[in-house]
Amino acid sequence: MGKVSLEGIEFHAFHGVFSEEKKLGNRFTVDIHVETDFKKAMLDDDLNETVDYSRIYQIAKSHMEEPVKLLEHLAHLMVQDILSAYPKLQRIDIIIKKHNPALGGVVNYSVVKVSYPLDYQN
């Protein structure tokens, strides 16, 4: 088992509930960690036997370009598309940070973390 991660992916996007967030947008940072068996990739030096992190990046980017109200929903959409691309993944962790959320005080960022399979069990 191994882990492939993308950390500190930066976007300017328009996610949020409030009209100001939808109009002005905000800075977001996304971290994505996936766990899979990539022993064959290690031995054979074959990208097809692991997770292509450029594809993971494109999935995140496409979802950051489509505004939603809740970061929880955004993370869920990313998990679903990553699982569609890589159904054998053992675990996915997605962390989304909204920088300087408009809360009336100094807050560096709000954070949502969604984990598959833990957050998807009934």
CATH number at residue 86: 3.30.1130.10
Per-residue pLDDT tens digits for 22-53: 899 999 999 999 999 999 999 999 999 999 99
Select the more confidently predicted residue: 121 or 37: 37
How far is it, in rounded angstroms, from Cα 74 to Cα 77?
5
Radius of gyration of the chain (CA): 16
In angstroms, the CA 61 to CA 63 distance is: 5
Active site residues: 98
Whether residue 117 is preceded by a cis peptide bond, meaning omega within 30 degrees of 0, is: yes
Identity (one letter) of the amino acid at 65? E
Looking at the structure of the chain, the number of domains it has is 1
Would you state the pLDDT for residue 20? 85
Residue 122 scores a pLDDT above 70: no
Number of Cβ within 10 Å of residue 7's Cβ equals 10
Q: How far apart are CA 22 and CA 56, in angstroms?
A: 25
Output the pLDDT for position 119.
61
Average per-residue pLDDT in the chain? 93
| Residue 94 contacts residue 32 (beta carbons within 8 Å) | yes
Q: CA 118 to CA 122: how far, in whole Å?
A: 9
pTM for this prediction: 0.92
Give the pair of three-digit tokens for residue 70.
């809740």
Domain residue limits at 20: 2-120
